[in-house]
Chains A and B, each alone.
Chain A
Amino acid sequence: MSWQGQILRVNLTQGVAKTEPLNMEWANAYIGERGLGTKYLYENVDPKCDPMGPDNVLIFATGPLNGTMASTSGRYAVLCKSPLTGAIGDSNSGGKFGAYLKYAGYDLLLIEGRAEKPVYLHIDDDNVEILPADDIWGAGVWRTEEWIKARHQNPQLKIASIGEAGENGVLFACVVNDLHRAAGRCGVGAVMGSKNLKAVAAYGTRGVTVDDPGTFMRVVRETHAKLAESGGRRELTEGGTHPMIDMMQEWGGLPTRNFREVQFEGIDKVNPAATTAPNERGHVNLITNKACFGCTIACGRIAHIDPEHFTIVNRPEYRHASGGLEYETAYGFGPVVGVDDVDAMTFANYMMNEHGMDPISFGVTLAAAMELYEMGVLTKEDTDGVDCGFGSAEALAVFSEKTGKGEGFGKVLGLGSRRLCEKYGHPELFMGVKGQEFAGYDSRALQGMGLGYATSNRGACHLKHDVFGPDMEDVSGNGKAVPVKESQDMVSMIDSTGLCLFTTSGWGPEDFVAQLDAALPGEWTLERCIESGERTWTLERMFNLAAGLTAADDTLPDRMLKEPTPSGNAEGKVSELDRMLPEYYTVRGWTGDGRPTNETLSRLGL
Chain B
Amino acid sequence: MQKSLLIDPDKCTSCLQCEMACSFEHEGSFNPARSRIKIFEFEHGKRSVPYTCTQCAEAWCLHACPVEALVRNPDTGAVEVRDEVCVGCKVCTIACPFGTVNYNPDTGKVVKCDLCGGDPECAKACPTDAIVYVDSAWTGFDRMKQWARQTDTRPMAGA
**A residues in contact (CB < 8 Å) with B:** 67-69, 71, 96, 99, 103, 156, 179-180, 203-209, 213, 217, 224, 228, 287-296, 298, 300, 302, 304, 320-323
The digit string for B31-60, where 1 denotes a CB below 8 A from any CB of A, is: 111100000000111111000000000000
- B31–A69 CB distance below 8 A: no
- B31–A207 CB distance below 8 A: yes
A67 to chain B, nearest CB (A): 6
**B residues in contact (CB < 8 Å) with A:** 13-17, 20-21, 23-24, 27-34, 43-48, 106, 125, 127-128
- B13–A180 CB distance below 8 A: no
Known A-B contacts A290-B45, A296-B127; the reply to A207 vs B34 at CB < 8 A is: yes
CB neighbours (8 Å) of A291 from chain B are 13-15
CB neighbours (8 Å) of B17 from chain A are 69, 294, 296
Q: Which single residue of chain B is at the shortest CB-CB distance from A125?
A: B33
B146 to chain A, nearest CB (A): 18
- B44–A179 CB distance below 8 A: yes
Known A-B contacts A291-B15, A298-B13; the reply to A209 vs B28 at CB < 8 A is: yes
- A69–B106 CB distance below 8 A: no
CB neighbours (8 Å) of A207 from chain B are 23, 27-31, 33-34
- A69–B21 CB distance below 8 A: yes
- B24–A69 CB distance below 8 A: yes
Q: Which single residue of chain B is at the shortest CB-CB distance from A304?
A: B46
B83 to chain A, nearest CB (A): 18
Q: Is the interface of A mostly helix, strand, loop or mixed?
A: loop
- B106–A205 CB distance below 8 A: yes
- A204–B33 CB distance below 8 A: yes
B70 to chain A, nearest CB (A): 24
Q: Which single residue of chain B is at the shortest CB-CB distance from A303?
A: B46
Docked pose: A69 CA to B15 CA in angstroms: 10
B39 to chain A, nearest CB (A): 10
17 A–B pairs (Cβ distance < 8 Å), ordered by A? A69-B17, A69-B24, A96-B16, A103-B33, A156-B33, A179-B44, A180-B44, A205-B106, A209-B28, A209-B30, A224-B127, A228-B127, A290-B13, A291-B13, A292-B15, A294-B17, A296-B17
A374 to chain B, nearest CB (A): 36
CB neighbours (8 Å) of B33 from chain A are 103, 156, 203-205, 207
- B20–A69 CB distance below 8 A: yes
CB neighbours (8 Å) of B30 from chain A are 67-69, 207-209
CB neighbours (8 Å) of A304 from chain B are 46
Q: Which single residue of chain A is at the shortest CB-CB distance from B128?
A: A298
Docked pose: A295 CA to B12 CA in angstroms: 12
Known A-B contacts A69-B125, A293-B15; the reply to A205 vs B31 at CB < 8 A is: yes
A244 to chain B, nearest CB (A): 21
- B29–A302 CB distance below 8 A: no
Docked pose: A304 CA to B43 CA in angstroms: 11
Greatest chain B CB density within 10 A among A179, A206, A290, A302 is at: A290
CB neighbours (8 Å) of B48 from chain A are 290
